[in-house]
C-alpha cells in the first residue's frame, strides 16, 4: 500500500472558505496532507505568521490526517525534507492556469519525483481569493460566507486597527 503525503502550500493571508474546501478534498484522497505556510517577510502579509497558523489549526483540527507547518526557501526542498510525493494546488478559473502551470513545471524540473495535483474548489468559491477578501474588508464591504466567521471577525478588527494608525 502506498502512503502518500501531499503538501498544500500557500500564503493563507487569510484563510478562506476556498482554502478549506480544498483542504477537505485533499484530506480525502491523500494519506497525509501538510498545509505549509510560506515564511516570507517580503510579501508584507496582513496577518502575522502565528495568526495564520492559528486560524489554520483551528479550522483543520477535525481532520486527523491534516497538519499545519511552515516552510522557507524552495518548496521542493521542503517536499524532500518531509518526504512528500505530491503538491496540491487549487485552480479556480482559467486565469489561474498559466501561473500554476509554470510553477508546476518549474517544480517538476527541480524535483521530477514530486507530482503537482490540481483540484477545483466548489463553484461557490471559484471567485474567492485572499487578495480580494482583504480588499473588500479594507473598503468596508462584507466578506460573510467567503471566510469562516471567526476569520471575518479577525479581519474586521485587523483592518479597523490599521485604519486607526
Ligand atoms: O498562496 P500563494 O501565494 O499562491 O502560494 C505561492 C507559493 C507559496 C506556493 C509559492 O510562492 C512558493 O512555492 N514559494 C516558495 C519558493 C519556491 O519554491 N519558488 C519556486 C516556485 S516554482
What is the per-residue pLDDT for 2? 85
Per-residue model confidence as pLDDT tens digits over 115-153: 999 999 999 999 999 999 999 999 999 999 999 999 999
Mean pLDDT for 33-45 is: 88
In ligand 1, which atom is closest to the CA atom of 73?
Answer: 16
**Residue whose CA is closest, atom 8 of ligand 1?**
10
Closest CA to 116 of 26, 31, 6: 6
**Residue whose CA is closest, atom 20 of ligand 1?**
74
What is the per-residue pLDDT for 45? 93
Mean pLDDT for 65-77 is: 97
Mutate to test the pocket of ligand 1, among 7, 9, 41 (most ligand atoms within 8 A of CB): 9
The residues annotated as belonging to the active site are: 19, 43, 92, 130
**DSSP letters of 62-81?**
T-TTEEEEEE-S-HHHHHHH
What is the pLDDT confidence band of residue 90, given thresholds at 50, 70 and 90?
very high
The helix/strand/coil state of 12 is coil
Written as nine digits, the cell of 136 is 473588500
Mutate to test the pocket of ligand 1, among 23, 45, 75 (most ligand atoms within 8 A of CB): 75
Length of the chain: 165
The whole-model pTM stands at 0.95
Phi, psi of 23 (to 5 degrees): -60, -45
What is the per-residue pLDDT for 40? 80
- Residue 26 CA to ligand 1 centre (angstroms): 18
Cα–Cα distance, 30 to 86 (Å, whole number): 9
Ligand 1 cavity residues, CB under 6 Å: 9-11, 38, 74-75, 103, 106-107
Q: What number of other Cβ atoms are within 10 A of residue 148's Cβ?
A: 18
Count of alpha carbons within 13 angstroms of residue 86, beta-carbon side = 17
Cα–Cα distance, 6 to 57 (Å, whole number): 17
Amino acid at each position: 500500500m502506498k502512503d502518500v503525503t501531499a503538501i498544500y502550500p500557500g500564503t493563507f493571508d487569510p484563510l478562506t472558505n476556498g482554502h478549506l474546501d480544498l483542504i477537505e478534498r485533499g484530506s480525502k484522497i491523500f494519506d497525509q496532507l501538510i498545509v505549509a505556510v510560506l515564511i516570507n517577510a517580503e510579501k508584507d502579509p496582513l496577518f502575522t505568521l502565528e495568526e495564520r497558523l492559528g486560524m489554520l489549526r483551528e479550522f483543520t483540527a477535525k481532520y486527523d490526517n491534516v497538519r499545519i507547518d511552515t516552510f522557507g526557501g524552495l518548496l521542493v526542498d521542503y517536499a524532500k525534507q518531509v518526504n512528500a510525493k505530491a503538491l496540491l494546488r487549487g485552480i479556480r478559473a482559467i486565469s489561474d492556469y498559466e501561473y500554476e502551470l509554470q510553477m508546476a513545471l518549474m517544480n517538476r524540473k527541480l524535483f521530477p519525483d514530486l507530482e503537482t495535483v490540481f483540484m477545483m474548489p466548489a463553484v461557490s468559491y471559484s471567485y474567492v481569493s485572499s487578495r480580494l477578501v482583504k480588499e473588500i474588508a479594507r473598503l468596508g464591504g462584507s466578506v460573510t460566507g467567503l471566510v469562516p466567521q471567526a476569520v471575518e471577525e479577525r479581519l474586521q478588527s485587523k483592518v479597523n486597527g490599521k485604519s486607526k494608525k
